[in-house]
Amino acid sequence: MQIRDLHKKDFPPLLLQINDPPKSMRIIGELPQTKKYLCVVGSRKYSDYGKAVCEKLIEGLRGYSITIVSGLALGMDGIAHRAALKTGLPTIAVPGSGLGPKALYPVTNRNIAEEIIESGGALISEFADDFRPRLESFPQRNRIMAGMSHATLIVEAELKSGTLITSKYATEYNRDVFTVPHSIFSKTSEGPHMLLRLG
């Protein structure tokens, strides 16, 4: 997989509108030329219900000019990418690492990364190719996912989670945030229910 510079003039247009856009980015593949980008994120510890909801909602977008954006992480991110691939929608992964073969994270989702490229999507990162993820690199990449997207869909999230950091960025950038109700007994329902209460 060939890594190259993504020049600022080629950034997704909405990404240039945020307060702190990346100074530079690297890319594998091609940015899909669709009308809308939808960021889909959720818990690593997802439920069967959350998985089904994510797949159903993305399947419902079949035929629309929409790219699914997510973070390649374990859990809901991987489900979102796979659902997009299955539905025939382009998808972009924004990992919390560099794109180099020894750095790309997580290792277990590298097969998804390869499928994304083969299907005409892209991997993008503001980190150096050999950058290995740190705790702070995930919130940093979350601003990119929210910043490049017209809207963000929160599927499942605990109250203290990177998923809610993404929704916070989306709100700051004046982008729509969508979520779905869950069981009141589930920890991963706390984030969506808080967002619903806040309106």
Chunked into runs of 10 residues, the chain (199 residues) has average pLDDT values of 95 97 98 97 90 95 98 97 98 99 97 98 98 96 98 84 88 92 56 55
Q: What distance lies between CA 51 and its chain's CA centroid?
A: 15
Q: Look at residue 160 in the predicted model and tell me its pLDDT.
A: 73
- Smallest CA-to-CA distance from 104 within 74, 72, 81 is with 72
CB atoms < 10 A from the CB of 71, how many?
Answer: 29
End-to-end alpha carbon distance in the chain: 42
**Which pTM does this prediction carry?**
0.91
**Residue whose tokens read 């796979």:** 82
Q: Look at residue 164 in the predicted model and tell me its pLDDT.
A: 87
The single-letter DSSP state of residue 45 is S
Return the structure tokens found at 93: 């992964």
Give the tens place of pLDDT for each residue, 141-156. 999 999 999 999 999 8
Q: Look at residue 145 in the predicted model and tell me its pLDDT.
A: 98
Q: Look at residue 185 in the predicted model and tell me its pLDDT.
A: 47
Return the structure tokens found at 3: 């890594």
Q: Look at residue 124 in the predicted model and tell me its pLDDT.
A: 99
CB atoms < 10 A from the CB of 110, how many?
Answer: 15
Q: Look at residue 180 in the predicted model and tell me its pLDDT.
A: 81
Fold of 4-198: Rossmann fold (3.40.50)
